[in-house]
Structure formats: structure tokens, C-alpha cells
Amino acid sequence: MTTTTKSGQMIDPFGRMVDYLRVSVTDRCDFRCVYCMSEHMTFLPKKELLTLEELDRLCTTFIEKGVKRLRLTGGEPLVRKNIMHLIEQLSRHLKTGQLEELTLTTNGSQLSKYSGQLADLGVRRVNVSLDTLNAEKFKEITRWGSLDKVLAGIEAARQAGIHVKINAVALKGVNDTEIVDIMRWAHGDGMDLTLIETMPLGEIEEDRTDQYLPLSQLRADLEKQFTLKDIDYKTGGPARYVEVAETGGRLGLITPMTHNFCESCNRVRLTCTGTLYMCLGKDDAADLRNPLRASESNELVSQAIDEAIGRKPKGHDFVIDRATKKPAVARHMSVTGG
């Protein structure tokens, strides 16, 4: 099947319009979350990375081809050197209206430093990942992080007028008993909370079958205490939302393992080396760095993007293999970005 790429729109072979790009601007991070990274990660040599100018050129090409929402992620996007320069460059597309939203997924550690600037550059929303409100547990999960610093970062973002959504990975035996507290805290401060199932991406030191907690089970538990109403709210991401009558807040559920959300997938993912992944759960990828560097015009890279969109798979099929304990996909989440 071929892509029917109309001018200014990318349509995949299954008729899905691709208008959302996630860009992992670095594979590095100031945390080492247990489900995401091993403690001793080998990161990419700096020379492998696209420069900020190249990232801007690639993102701009995607925007010209129909991307309306751009999310920077990583690794930790805010630890990439001079990241504010890239955000400033990209914000020109917000001013022209070609880009509707420029946003970030962050661990929050640098938000105290950057929130003011982010707000000035037109960033209206950020997702902050936070799996526990217990300082000791936070240290255990992130290995290197500080809860106080993240909470201060969240506050700084809110003070700057940025809407914060909290993302928490549901981890069996780690934060499952705390989900209600996290939800009350987030909703009490007017923040949405999204829960994510752990996905088998990359080798880590822990056993993933031990960490995996199906959200269907968590939802059933929550329904013993709360009234959850399915709502049609959409943020352009894969979460399905419910409204919690008792808190008045929204709870998002991202269930790549127990529910197939692929039919409405509108996104592709670009790594900091210029590799484009058409699906988080598949290994197929397209190299955009060579076509980008081969010519000063964007024609070659634009063609490579069309070919890649033409290969976007219908869906993924994650399995945590209980026999081998091997991940379904060898690359870490910090490579492709969350």
C-alpha cells in the first residue's frame, strides 16, 4: 500500500492522518528511573546527535508536511545543551499558526529554571512524570532524582501559567497503593493525572513481569471507591479519559498492554540521531539524517518521510515474554521518547 500524501497532510496506508510528532532531543537524563533505564547506561556519543539546527530543519519539514503538534521529549529534554535555543526557533511556527501546539514531556527537575522562558515562548502545557509523592520512594524509583526539586518545578510551571498534567507509571508493589493519593493531590490542584502501563522497552536490571500492573485491574479497584465516568475528552495523545465524580478531576488511562489504541494513532517519533520510528512498539525505522545531510534543500528528506509514513504499521503487539524475560523492543523508552 502507498501513502496518499496530499499537500500539507500526511496520510498513512490505513487512512490515519499523521499530525503529531514527538522528538527525543537527547537520550541522556539526570534521572535513572528503574523501569526506563539501567543504572549504568551507555549513551550515544555526542557526534552522533543531530545539531539543534538540524533538529529545527527536520521539525520544520514535518510542520510543512502537516504536523500540528510537536512534543519534545527524551531522555530529559531540558538537559540538552542550549535546548531553549531550539524551543525559541520552533516557537516561530506557533506565531505563524502553522503549529498549534509546542509542548514537552519532562521529569520536572529543570522546570524551576526554565518555566518563565517556556511560557514566554508559547509553551502552554507540559506533562510532568511523577510516580510517587513519597520522597524516599521517589529516590528508589528515579535513583538520582529529588522529589522536592520536582514539586518546586511543577509549582514554578503553574505560576508561569503553564498547564501541568501529571503522568505516573503504574508499578506493581511500588506505587499501586499510592495512586489514590496521587490522584487526590493532582485533582486537588486542578491537574489531570494520566496513568501508564509499563511497556517492555529495553533491557533494565529489574524483572518487568514483576513491575507490570494492568490498568484494567487498577480501574476496577478505583471503582470500589470512586465513580468513574467515561468521557470523550481528547488531548491528541493515546489516553482514554474518565471523570472522577468525587474529585471533579480527569483521569487518563494509557493502556498499550491491555487495550489496543493503535486504530487512532496519529503520531510518529523522531530520535536525536534522526531516526524516525513509525510505531513505538515496532523496530522498523527510517533514517532521516543521511537525506537531511545529503542536500541543502529539504526535498530528499521530505521524500524519505513520505516513504516512512507509507510503511506505518497498523499496530503493535507488546508481550512481556515470561519465559525469556526479554523486552519486546530492544531500544529503551529514553531513545524513542515517551
**Residue 60 binds ligand SF4, judged by CB under 6 A:** no
Question: Segment 33-62, which members bind ligand SAM (CB under 6 A)?
Answer: 35-36
**Residue 74 binds ligand SF4, judged by CB under 6 A:** yes
Nearest to 168 by CA among 156, 178, 159, 155: 178
CB under 5 to 8 A by kind: which of ligand SAM, ligand SF4, none does 147 bind? none
What is the per-residue binding string for ligand SAM in 154-193, x denoting contact by CB under 6 A?
Answer: -------------x-x------------------------
> For residues 5 and 106, which CB has a smaller minimum distance to ligand SAM in the complex?
106
Rounded least distance, CB 254 to ligand SAM, Å: 8
* Binding segment (CB under 6 A) for ligand SAM, from list 1-9, 11-19, 100-108, 301-309: 100-108
Contact status, residue 80 vs residue 337, Cβ threshold 8 Å: no
Question: Segment 99-128, which members bind ligand SF4 (CB under 6 A)?
Answer: 107
* Binding segment (CB under 6 A) for ligand SAM, from list 103-111, 232-240, 293-301, 307-315: 103-111
Distance CA 106, CA 128 (A): 5
CB under 5 to 8 A by kind: which of ligand SAM, ligand SF4, none does 32 bind? ligand SF4
* Binding segment (CB under 6 A) for ligand SF4, from list 4-12, 30-38, 51-59, 148-156: 30-38
Among residues 11, 29, 87, 279, which is the contact residue for ligand SF4, using CB under 6 A? 29
Distance CA 131, CA 109 (A): 14
Question: Segment 33-52, which members bind ligand SF4 (CB under 6 A)?
Answer: 33, 36-37
DSSP string covering 87-118, please?
Answer: HHHHTHHHHHTS-SEEEEEE-STTHHHHHHHH
Which cell numbers hold the place of 287?
Answer: 533514517
Contact status, residue 191 vs residue 167, Cβ threshold 8 Å: no
Which cell numbers hold the place of 202?
Answer: 529495553
Rounded least distance, CB 69 to ligand SAM, Å: 16
Rounded least distance, CB 214 to ligand SAM, Å: 13
Q: Residue 33 contacts by C-beta under 8 Å, 6 or more apart in sequence?
A: 129, 131, 141, 142, 143, 145
**Residue 201 binds ligand SAM, judged by CB under 6 A:** yes
Nearest to 54 by CA among 274, 238, 323, 324: 274
Q: Which helix (H) or strand (E) holds 294?
A: helix 289-294
Cα→Cα distances 127→86, 161, 274, 283, 315, Å = 19, 14, 23, 26, 24
Contact status, residue 28 vs residue 271, Cβ threshold 8 Å: no
Site residues (CB under 6 A) for ligand SAM?
29, 35-36, 73-74, 76, 105-107, 129, 167, 169, 196, 198-199, 201, 333-334, 337-338
